[in-house]
Amino acid sequence: MSIRVGIIGAGPSGMAQLRAFEAARKQGAAMPEITCFEKQSDWGGQWNYSWHTGIDGAGESAHSSMYRHLWSNGPKECLEFADYTFDEHFGRPISSFPPRAVLFDYISGRVEKSDVRKYVRFNTAVRWVNYDEATEVFTVESQNVKTGASETHVFDKLVVSTGHFSVPNIPEFEGINTFPGEIMHAHDFRGAERFAGKDLLMIGSSYSAEDIGMQAHKMGAASVTLSYRSSPMGYDWPSSTVERPLVTLFEGRTAQFSDGTSGEFDAVILCTGYLHKYPFLPSTMTISSSNVLYPGNLYKGVVWQQNTNLFYLGAQDQYYTFNMFDAQAWFARDVMVGKIEIPTAEDRSADISRWLERQNALKGHDEESDFQTDYVRELINATDYPEFDLDSVNALFKDWMRHKSEDILGYRDQTHRSAITGTMSEPHHTRWINAMDDSLERYLNGPSENVNTNAM
Ligand code: FAD
Ligand code: NA0
């Protein structure tokens, strides 16, 4: 009997798992029995944009945290699939920082060509998972979110690929109940147009705070204040943007900061990150971690230490994304089919500890990029995923971070070379700060019409 594989989630990680099995099938390997559960009506995960916030049209929690005018925050050359290049998909060079719709088109194009859609049960949420130690099988309870019909499935191997940037981390702040304006988490942000002329307070000092803050600036916000807990981002911000230490108190519209300064605001956006949350898994199979490059308890960042039939994809904080999910999916596939032998629990534990120790010693972004490069390299070396020049990609991450330091509003106008095809990207027809139409059509066909007045 062929193995039965369950995959929960058809975002980029789940799609990578489908593609990994399909790639092996093309080389003559037997295809396992695969069922992929996706609670939304389409695949793409975060990249499947929806205007819904809170609860979606099927009464489920809205998954995607992406927003209008989201352009890739890293060079596309860093996330390029080694087995499906941007040149292959678009047939011509494109710019290095495409908008969301363009990347959605790219990731969908690869799996559409692979004919793996048939394995996905859309509109189907996984509600609960059990594992029977004696028979070594998973029982998965799923429910069609449209009809309410529930089903039970049995699997030998289970892949959890539900992402970890969908359940907001929501801290409390003294007096915040007295704030009369809008308060939201970044997860519910869909566009900054309505913040034109407004004074915005963002709490947090990572990608969401930086990007939503600069979106608001682009859309004409009067001022943007970024409040940090640990350390400021320190970019060369536009003059109407400032960084302040953490808010200590809200009194009506006024926020007090720990350095004694204060400000009046129209809206507050909590850019305070996300929680690992897996409500369909018993605690014995659930990751408990903050957003780090190497969550504990996962051998090679993929295989659950206490149950080597259980796999997590994309559970890490991410420099690498799509190609790392591929490397993980190829690795998970080869473990599942017995091509990669799993070492003893003791040896796995020693391997995990080695990565955790290195993670604990990391200083700064360059070392983090080196860390994840080495991690991806180790996975690729263990499988037949096409090799590519990871040192070039690592260098590209460092160039990108330097460009951000030099020009936070202009780094997306830079061009980069593909480590896979050698193709140099095209400069985009419109500078990011002036690009007011983020559609695939406008991106591919011609310059934007509107020119923004906040351009530096
Ligand atoms: P997700 O994309 O989150 O997909 C998980 C899937 O699981 C979803 O389709 C969801 O519906 C499904 N699911 C969840 N629970 C269940 C359930 N119980 N049953 C069935 N299905 C379920 N990466 C980049 O490379 N470049 C970027 O520019 C970039 N921008 C980002 C911007 C934002 C605001 C965020 C939040 C993330 C961004 N990322 C970016 C990172 C992004 O997380 C990854 O690119 C990628 O989407 C992760 O893929 P995933 O499949 O692991 O998770
Ligand atoms: P993210 O920025 O949403 O990116 C997720 C931040 O929250 C940290 O700065 C942390 O501070 C802060 N924080 C947490 N609890 C806090 C509290 N109680 N008080 C104050 N601050 C608090 O989340 P994180 O985890 O990076 O940072 C949390 C993902 O979304 C990333 O992968 C990113 O790439 C992606 N993203 C991409 C884009 C684009 O592509 C845009 C947005 C997000 P501290 O003190 O822990 O440092 C355009």
What is the model's pLDDT at position 448?
A: 63
User: CA 308 to CA 245: how far, in whole Å?
Assistant: 44
What is the model's pLDDT at position 456?
A: 41
Residue 223, beta-bridge partner list: 199
Q: How confident is the model at residue 453 (pLDDT cuts 50, 70, 90)?
A: very low
Tokens 């809205």 sit on residue: 62
* pLDDT tens track for 241-270: 999 999 999 999 999 999 999 999 999 999
Section 358-385 average pLDDT: 98
User: CA 400 to CA 86: how far, in whole Å?
Assistant: 19
Q: How confident is the model at residue 358 (pLDDT cuts 50, 70, 90)?
A: very high
Q: How confident is the model at residue 413 (pLDDT cuts 50, 70, 90)?
A: very high
Section 162-186 average pLDDT: 98
Section 340-365 average pLDDT: 98
Residue 126, beta-bridge partner list: 142
Q: What is the 64 CA–ligand 1 centroid distance (Å)?
A: 7
* pLDDT tens track for 317-333: 999 999 999 999 999 99
Query: Is residue 455's pLDDT more than 90?
Result: no
DSSP 165: S
User: CA 299 to CA 281: how far, in whole Å?
Assistant: 19
Residue with the smallest CA separation from ligand 1 atom 25 is: 321
What letter represents residue 358's amino acid? R
Residue with the smallest CA separation from ligand 1 atom 12 is: 9
Q: What is the 303 CA–ligand 1 centroid distance (Å)?
A: 19
Tokens 């690009």 sit on residue: 435
Section 38-62 average pLDDT: 97
| Ligand showing the shortest atom-to-Cα distance for residue 122 | 1
Q: At residue 242, what are phi and psi to the nearest 5 degrees?
A: -135, 155
Query: In terms of DSSP H, where are the helices of 277-389?
Result: 322-336, 345-360, 364-382
Q: How confident is the model at residue 446 (pLDDT cuts 50, 70, 90)?
A: confident
Kindly state if the Cβ of 207 falls inside 6 Å of ligand 2: yes
| Ligand showing the shortest atom-to-Cα distance for residue 127 | 1
Percent of the chain topping pLDDT 70: 98
What is the model's pLDDT at position 450?
A: 53
Distances (CA, A) of 344 to 292, 348, 364: 25, 6, 33
5: Cα within 13 Å, side-chain hemisphere? 28
* pLDDT tens track for 222-242: 999 999 999 999 999 999 999
Kindly state if the Cβ of 6 falls inside 6 Å of ligand 1: no
Q: What is the 217 CA–ligand 1 centroid distance (Å)?
A: 26
36: Cα within 13 Å, side-chain hemisphere? 28
β-sheet with 262-264: strand ranges across: 247-251, 254-257, 262-264
Q: How confident is the model at residue 447 (pLDDT cuts 50, 70, 90)?
A: confident
* pLDDT tens track for 96-110: 999 999 999 999 999
What is the model's pLDDT at position 449?
A: 56
> Are the beta carbons of 454 and 220 closer than 8 angstroms?
yes
Query: In terms of DSSP H, where are the helices of 125-196?
Result: none
Kindly state if the Cβ of 295 falls inside 6 Å of ligand 1: no
Residue with the smallest CA separation from ligand 2 atom 40 is: 73
> Are the beta carbons of 63 and 166 closer than 8 angstroms?
yes
More confident residue, 276 or 453: 276
Pocket residue to mutate for ligand 1, from 60, 106, 160, 162, most atoms within 8 A of Cβ: 162
User: CA 196 to CA 355: how far, in whole Å?
Assistant: 45
Tokens 């593909």 sit on residue: 418
| Exposed/middle/buried for residue 79 (C-beta within 10 Å: 0-12, 13-18, 19+) | buried
Percent of the chain topping pLDDT 90: 97
Q: What is the 185 CA–ligand 2 centroid distance (Å)?
A: 11
- The SS3 call for residue 412 is helix
> Are the beta carbons of 356 and 375 closer than 8 angstroms?
no
Kindly state if the Cβ of 39 falls inside 6 Å of ligand 1: yes
For residue 419, the Cα-to-chain-centroid distance in whole angstroms is: 21
Kindly state if the Cβ of 96 falls inside 6 Å of ligand 1: no
Distances (CA, A) of 287 to 187, 238, 281: 21, 39, 10
| Ligand showing the shortest atom-to-Cα distance for residue 206 | 2
